[in-house]
Amino acid sequence: MKVTIEELQAYLFDHYSNGGIDQSLFMKLVEEIGEVAEVLNKKAGRKSTDKEDLQTQLGNELADVIHYTVAIAALNGLDMNDIIINKDKVASVKYNHKTDLEQFILNKRNDKTNQ
């Protein structure tokens, strides 16, 4: 199953709207970012590890970062889909990318339709 940003935002708004406080969610986000750093340090050999599945751990920690980031956006009424698309358009021009995210997605969808 695939989830869209809009679906995740709606779910998290529903989940946190009756008592979710974006400042406390931010503290959880910072904690999760620290956990991502810890896993990356283990993967790079800068920190010892015991035969842990670091790839799975990294995925789980990144999922937590996305969770709290999108929850904060949802509680603040931000449409992250539009914000991501528009911010990428600006960055694509600034950094001379050959294509922006919106065009990339449209090309991928077109490729799937033509297969």
User: How confident is the model over 30-88, as pLDDT tens digits?
Assistant: 999 999 999 999 999 999 988 889 999 999 999 999 999 999 999 999 999 999 999 99
User: DSSP class of residue 47?
Assistant: S
Find how far residue 102's CA is from the centre of its chain.
17
- Cβ neighbours of 89 (radius 10 Å): 15
**pLDDT score recorded for residue 66:** 98
Query: Which CB contacts under 8 angstroms, 24+ apart, belong to 44-53?
Result: none
Q: What is the mean pLDDT of residues 7-28?
A: 93
**pLDDT score recorded for residue 89:** 98
**pLDDT score recorded for residue 20:** 74
